[in-house]
Amino acid sequence: MTKPNALIQPDRGADAIAIHLVNKDGFPDFAKTLSAGQRAALAAQKFEGGGYQVGIVPDGDAWFAVGGVADPESLSSWCLAKLAEDLPEGSYRIANADPGPAMFGWITGQYRFNRYRSEDKAQGPRILLTTQVGPIDAAIAEAEAECFLRDLVNTPAEDMGPAALEAECERLAKAHKAELTVVRGDALEQGYPMVHAVGRAAARHNAPRLMHLTWGDPAHPVLAIVGKGVCFDSGGLDMKPSSGMRLMKKDMGGAAHALALAGLIMGARLKVRLHLLIPAVENAISGASFRPGDVLSSRKGLTIEIHNTDAEGRLILGDALTRASEEEPDLIVDFATLTGAARVALGPDLPAMMARSNDTAEAFLAAGKAHDDAPWRLPLPEAYREYLSSDIADMVNASSNPYAGASVAGLFLDRFVGEEIDWVHFDTFAWNPSPRPGRSRGGRGLGLRASWHAIRARYAG
């Protein structure tokens, strides 16, 4: 796609095609301002002002567009997305409204993942001009982060293994003059034994590793961002069925969220000391695979009895969360495509969120609601901790009962977060199974914008 920073531009009076926004209630009055021929043209297109409808109206030798929205005076992120998808290439301006939050969808509506297409038939850019100059840079930054996340998730595992994730961390560190440390080999086995155990069965070029990026003034509050980087998940020896394995290239979606969020934080130069931790593995099958019944050690010193090798994401996160806690952070936020139970409970559109602090949870929920990225809070019930009990180790990695799988996974992670540390956990899907305006089928940020706006508000001073 065209670079997002070219798709929204300040309106300096250049020629542009007008877009009129209407809803069903206002469409009859709008239609009265049109000629009979123009009304006939819209009728032929079955345009009635419904949401996401797009109409083309002849106007002498030129034309203008009409877009259906719920409320022209209060646009959401997605109100202009269908227009951005369907209109021909060119420059446009909204005739009767400011785009506001809909700038985001104008950009993401033009997102295309074309890395593997032999012939690129994508349209040229649809550029939106606006006199609302102040929000442009912020909207572009958010949309760039979203498109970056989508690119990472959409890339097949052959080209997005642990080494490729490391390269993305290197690129991010270079762009923002951050420091990057990568732990692998013997140092990984000793310092992050669960990350090593999960990833040790992979081919050499997909060897496990942990990336640790640091940025910002050490005098500022410490903010830790952790992302699950399982670049492909076969399920290990408890192998997934083929239907479950089909989308497992997206099992590094947590890492994609973490990288995108870190980029936003550094780009805005928030007053934080950022620690980004990404454990990157392939959960493969070989003679070196960890096994059901094995007992693994962890960086924290807890021992883990393996009930299911397909519950591997929480293992690598456990070591990374332990390392994050060693910095005594003001806040830890982690992202993971962790459980099918969260999807059963909430479907593909609502990321599950768990948090220790009610105030922090409310801040993230409010930020998500305000920016069309609403998570749904799930509990961390003390009563369910017994589901993780083991007869031979400190805990198991997966409960044998079928209940509350997302919360039980959250409780597992909770054991590795330092006491009294403010912590938010996102069990995200990172995927959009059905295309909608501004949200193409494939990789998608779910929890990214909620986190970004909550964090920005928290550390704005």
**Whole-number Å distance between alpha carbons of 70 and 50:** 7
What is d(CA 171, CA 309) in angstroms, rounded to the nearest whole number? Answer: 32
Cα dist from 228 to 69, 193, 201, 281, whole Å: 37, 16, 18, 9
Scan for tokens 């009767």, then name that residue: 96
| Catalytic positions, written as ranges | 240, 314
Q: Rounded distance, CA 182 to CA 335, Å?
A: 20
Q: How far apart, in Å, are the Cα atoms of 319 and each of 129, 275, 299? A: 47, 14, 5
Q: Which residue has the tokens 């993401």?
A: 108
The 10 Å CB-count burial string (b at 16+, else e) for 270-296 is: bebbbbbbbbbbbbbbeeebbeeeeeb
Crossing angle of helices 136-154 and 448-458, rounded to 10°: 140
